[in-house]
Structure 1
């Protein structure tokens, strides 16, 4: 049989790299980078090669399964739909006790995104949870407040900038997060070739920090102080907005300047552990004439002042004149205009058993997830649909999340595996393999370093009996309507929906036209366009939203608090993993153990810990055991454990992952602390103690 080479987009992470998949029949011979893709330019990371492992994984479910007293029983699709629909209608006929949780992979499947709403409407569920309140709601909140749309993001124009400052982000491992930037290493080389510089602020000398010009360690959770110091310096040197920006702002920066008057640079410097000299060095590009950009990600999102941090990041780019400027931060105008076609989202509140919490984009914060399943009144979640997610490993206090899942009356998981979460389900409905689906980068065009879009048809035909994610949720929706005696909607095929959405976008292309360009549709580099992109009611940038100004005062109060004397735990990720869902790929998990606790040599010496020794990590929630990795890459007083591991719960069927289980970072994290403006969980700067396992046993 002759081999064939198929051009498609890698769906695993936000980089959306173009790949060449060589197949012979249903066998994948190789996966390589597509050099003709204008966005990724031939680059791929190890995750792309793992698509073959996902497609052929022997542990992947090929048919629906139902929990019985004797274990899991395979059933046919019609039986699964009928039983789930009947139980849903019986347990919760009006949907008030039902909820949905959507995990990270959902955002990488345009067809599932377009169809999932049909099932939620059929169920009648009002409560939605997702991974967004675990890592990114501060971005969406600030974008909505300042620019009028939750998805209107200003991303660094790395291909033309001269100075890039990154706080709490590691694009060498992530390929960009809420910033689609494939081949980050190559782009940094090009930046250096034109005389540019990169500064990375992080408690760990990350993979990104190692290719940067300057690494600045910072105490976890104190980035607000550093950002305020930089902004204060910029406002002193540049008191007026750049011409052009002043015309699109609703007011001057005076209210911000007044709010910062209470702080002294020396005070802010001491609080975050960054020297005044380093503060001045980081400020310099933003008071000069060359283009510069500052970008903050996980490290400044998953803390108590996540929204405040991202607002200050936007203000630094704005005040320095680098917002909507080539080489600064710019608003993409992609092939598919999510911002122009979708509603702006919104910010409101939601009532939970723990009180009123903020709600961004209609979501209930994940810090309340377990509480809502365990509450003992009529508000308890009884029915839960988990779509492409693993909250046991990704949500705070994984053990309590498991307790909540065990108490549900009905749980349905849409997942190809029996995971730490789906093992609690009554039914698991598995989608087909990834190469049997089509793909379009719906959510990531608006975050891309280039105006771009690409569509990939399925590489392989569906296996007999297999279904795509969108078919499963839409067919189950029809079954639920039938069980309730309500009329099912006319469900349009996702391809038809995508075609209409593309036609309605500024480029006005049809899906057929896009599909005919397998290398992608390149609409060129980012360009100034802020006047056309703003979605606020007055078409102005809202410079100083009242809630964010007030949060400056809340932060000021914390500077007088005496911090607990403890090591501070931060997370990390690796280019060979993706949150909790690639650990069954042999080619990714092979090699040395990566689920280690990194710690500074002095911290290890003080506690009598040797490299490679088994240690116990204790938080105020629980304790876990792992291996110590002693390294100068860590700031003293800070330790780092990767997130997304812990595939060692009883009943796990993932054979490969079970041999590389690791431990779960989130078992150590409680739910009491969160960003009060967004409800985003605090997953950074967790107070822990660390000691040798033997010492822990004695104590």
Structure 2
């Protein structure tokens, strides 16, 4: 029987609504949902391939357990018994019950690392359950994809606003001037800025007479649309932005406007920027001084302006400083927390707005990694340090790992060393639908069901959306016989770590609900203050524990019904009555209530930032020599996720090294021939693509390839494996504040292969 159903696409941060066509238990087509309140029918090639991904024959359907050195299919009960037998002794060795006791019993907690990959923020289970696992395990060996991606933005937001999750986004639909730094939303669909049809929103900006400026060493699809493209030398964004800040102060253009009363340390920023004149940075950036001044003047003169920096500006040596400067420019031009500038979304499941005033603030380096002494950031250590934490002998060595939706062998630096290190672990469990370059090392693999058989709600991305809205879709297909849903897999994993295999997984959700309601009724500002948690819990609706938790979060959130206090407010029941979502309106000013700093102000010049600026000052007058490597994103790709989907393979989605014609001639490279790239971590041989889309002195190689290791089950990806760019990177060079690996602006050697 043919029917249609609604689904929110989980394949990138745009979160577009889909209408899928089903023939019995198979998705045969996917198109944009024209009635979706946010995406309005937009779809990209990734969303259109939803059915092909969902039905990928290489997806694991049953758990695997390693026996006699080989992974074999087992029952779910057998798999979880193996998890508890492998992990629980390591947890117990660090105390009588270190998974449930009130404080860590060893300096670094149990020798169990937790590794979380990017797909976690695209699923309900990945959003709700890892925090519970981490709270129970209390290991300080936590590694995520954030430190090869956006951690600098978390750190800069934490230092500025006191909350690392308070990330302002460009108000795309109302801005008059959009300055894009190191981002290519025409291909990526946006990131740390949830905006279905980002390309359409850029075109709408141009149609209404607005201006688009792109700073990028590549002439990307986004740069080709721009009014102005500045082909900056990779890794020098902080110098450019500092020179713009210096220009604003020098020319009397710095005017924070209505938010001035909520700022502190502005004069410290002026002093910090004094040496970074356009003339002082022009040589390093390879951008003329007068052009830098004009860029600052244009930003200040625009009726409204938004600055947006992404992975090209975060995965660099001064990534946190650059992320800080992005927001500083918005503040100084009066484009902070106002329509058309950068603004803070208000998610339906986020905390309700609090009264303005001092908060707890944000701290870095509360502990350090065992081997290299890297400081933690946001309770995480650099994923570039994972291998050394495993293979370096000594007390506290990581001996086991819980890897959830992560493939760091491809996505982290020095993948060869990490590949060897993972093989040496005493025990490893992976929650992953594929046997990939990382999960092939696991002793137990727990595969979640396909997306069509899982509910979808965007907990993370609604907090980064360019318009406030809320949408939820239930599974469009039932689970296969005997298959637990992804939430149950996570809950049972948590129980195993606590030595409770066999207990009801619903206990985890009940515990979370009881704790959250207990805090709510004790809060004098809560709409349920003074009520009984048990009474409120009985009012929750939903088919399972995850839906009951969602109902609770909606009802206690900023738009919620407050369990009857605001009858017209949100609840799960009301959301289900609106299958295309509920529009909650444009972004609105949120300062000062969003601030959590100790002063209750936007602390414009935090100490760690000032120290980084001093370090950057030492780079004035220098010009990087040699060839610099940058990454690139393809429209039909998302990291290493989608290379096993036939519809997304081939065409422009190619693993080539892009080289400027001048460099190709100088190095005697031929289009389509092989080149050898060598970095401090190793070398690869890759086909050459000669193009003037990259500036001279820069080469570009995409991220997420290298599907050539034995023991995987990725037939499509394995047929066109490409090369792993992270084999070039030893992971020694990090942004010191965030621990983020330097992936862009990395020095390499380029030679022809004869």
TM-score (norm. length: structure 1):
0.95
1:264 maps to which of 268, 277, 290: 277
2:305 matches 1:292:
yes
1:306 Cα deviation after fit? 0.8
Deviation larger for 347-356 or 397-406: 347-356
- CA–CA separation in structure 2 for the residues paired with 1:326 and 1:117: 34
Question: For the Cα contact (< 8 Å) 1:285–1:292, is it kept in 2?
Answer: no
Q: Please tell me the root mean square deviation across aligned C-alpha atoms, in Å.
A: 2.1
1:503 to 531, 555, 559: 555
Partner of 1:191: 205
64-73 or 132-141, which deviates more: 64-73
- Match in the other structure for 1:42: 41
Mapped contact 1:147–1:536 kept (Cα < 8 A): yes
Structure 2 residue 32 is the aligned partner of structure 1 residue 8: no
Name the CA distance, whole Å, in 2 between partners of 1:173 and 1:490: 39
Say yes or no: does 1:559 pair with 2:620.
yes
Matched, 1:363 2:362: no
Indicate yes or no: 2:224 matched with 1:210.
Answer: yes
Contact 1:86 1:480 in 2 (8 A): no
- Aligned equivalent of 2:112: 98
- Superposed, 1:474-489 pairs within 5 Å as 474-482=491-499
User: Given the superposition, is the C-alpha separation of residues 530 and 483 from structure 1 closer, same or farther in structure 2, using an over 3 Å criterion?
Assistant: closer
In the alignment, structure 1 residue 464 sits paired with structure 2 residue 481: yes
Give 2:335's match in structure 1, choosing from 306, 318, 322: 322
Please give the alpha-carbon distance, in whole angstroms, between the structure 1 residues aligned to 2:660 and 2:650. Answer: 26
Aligned residues of 1:89 and 1:484 also touching (Cα < 8 A): no
Work out the CA distance in 2 between the residues paired with 1:123 and 1:112. 16
**SS of aligned partner of 1:643:** coil
Contact 1:336–1:502 (CA<8 Å) still a contact in 2? yes
CA contact (8 A) 2:634 2:653 kept: no
- Corresponding residue of 1:570: 630
- The aligned residue for residue 512 of structure 1 is 573
SS for the counterpart of 1:153 is coil
Indicate the SS of the match to 2:550: helix
Distance 1:681 1:56 in 2: 34
Q: Does 1:452 align with 2:451?
A: no
Larger displacement relative to structure 2 (254-263 or 599-608): 254-263
Q: 1:173 aligns with which of 187, 206, 209?
A: 187
Q: Is the 8 A contact 1:317 1:328 kept in 2?
A: yes
Aligned residue for 2:83?
Answer: 84
Q: Specify the alignment match of 1:394 in structure 2.
A: 411
1:242-299 per-residue CA deviation (whole Å, 9 max, x = no partner) reads: 3421111124x21111112223321111111111232133212222151111111111
Higher alpha-carbon deviation: 117-126 or 539-548 = 117-126
Pick from 143, 158, 165: which aligns with 1:151? 165
8 Å contact kept, 1:593–1:660: no
User: For the Cα contact (< 8 Å) 2:60–2:433, is it kept in 1?
Assistant: yes
Task: Name 2:674's counterpart in structure 1.
Answer: 614
Q: Out of 681, 684, 704, which is 1:644 matched to?
A: 704
Aligned equivalent of 2:714: 654
Match of 2:344 among 331, 353, 359: 331
CA-to-aligned-CA distance 1:38-97 (integer Å, 9 cap, x gap): 321211111112221222111111000112336321000111111220121234423611
Deviations 1:285-327 (A, max 9, x none): 2221511111111111011111111111111100000111211
1:73 aligns with 2:72: yes
- Please report how far the alpha carbon of residue 124 of structure 1 lies from its aligned counterpart in structure 2 after TM superposition: 5.0
Task: Write the distance in 2 (CA, Å) between the matches of 1:437 and 1:505.
Answer: 24
**Is 2:367 the counterpart of 1:350?**
yes
Separation in 2, partners of 1:619, 1:289 = 42
Paired position in structure 1 for 2:728: 668
CA contact (8 A) 1:584 1:656 kept: yes
Structure 2: how far apart are the matches of 1:185 and 1:481?
A: 47
How far apart are the structure 2 equivalents of 1:407 and 1:343? 41
Q: Mean Cα displacement is larger for which, 430-439 or 677-686?
A: 677-686
| TM-score normalised by the chain length of structure 2 | 0.88
Whole-Å separation in 1 of the counterparts to 2:38 and 2:122: 17
Q: 1:361 to 1:644 in 2, by over 3 A?
A: same
Q: Does 1:678 align with 2:738?
A: yes
**Displacement of 1:417 after TM fit?**
0.7
**2:354 matched to 1:302?**
no
- 1:237 to 2:236 alignment: no
Cα contact 1:148–1:536 (8 A) shared by 2: yes
Going from structure 1 to structure 2, the CA distance change for 1:16 and 1:584 (only over 3 Å counts) comes to: same
Distance in 2 between residues matched to 1:646 and 1:345, nearest whole Å:
38
Question: Distance between the aligned counterparts of 2:259 and 2:69, measured in 1?
Answer: 66
Contact 1:203 1:219 in 2 (8 A): yes
Separation in structure 1 between the aligned mates of residue 277 and residue 254 of structure 2, nearest angstrom: 21
Q: C-alpha displacement at 1:224, in angstroms? A: 1.0
Identify the residue that residue 380 of structure 1 maps to in structure 2.
397
Residues 456 and 612 of structure 1: CA distance in aligned 2, closer, same or farther (over 3 Å)? same
Match in the other structure for 1:697: none
User: Retained in 2: the 8 A contact 1:303–1:681?
Assistant: yes
Question: Counterpart of 1:144 in 2: which secondary structure?
Answer: helix
Q: For the residues of structure 1 that align with 2:213 and 2:502, how far apart are their CA atoms?
A: 60
How far has the Cα of 1:476 moved from its partner? 2.6
Match of 1:162 among 169, 172, 176: 176
Q: How does 1:247-262 map to 2 (within 5 A)?
A: 247-251=261-265, 253-262=266-275
SS in 1 for 2:148: helix
Tell me which of 628, 641, 648 is aligned to 2:688: 628
Q: Relative to 1, partners in 2 of residues 1:321 and 1:599: Cα closer, same or farther, differing over 3 Å?
A: same
Deviation at 1:6, TM superposition (A): 1.1
C-alpha distance in structure 1 between counterparts of 2:360 and 2:52, whole Å: 38
Residue of structure 1 equivalent to 2:540: none
The 1-side partners of 2:245 and 2:122 are apart by 35
Query: Equivalent residue of 2:468, what SS?
Result: strand
Partner of 2:640: 580
Task: For 1:431 and 1:495, locate their aligned partners in 2 and report how far apart those are by CA, in whole Å.
Answer: 18
Q: CA deviation at 1:127?
A: 1.8
More displaced stretch, 349-358 vs 677-686: 349-358
CA distance in 2, matches of 1:363, 1:460: 36
Contact 2:284 2:621 in 1 (8 A): no
State whether residues 271 and 559 of structure 1, in contact with CA within 8 Å, keep that contact through their aligned partners in structure 2. yes
Unaligned runs of 5+ in 1: 695-699
Question: Which residue of 2 is the match for residue 139 of structure 1?
Answer: 153
Of the structure 1 ranges 471-480 and 171-180, higher mean CA displacement relative to structure 2 is found in 471-480
The corresponding residue for 1:538 is 599
Q: Could you tell me how far 1:367 is from its partner in structure 2?
A: 2.0
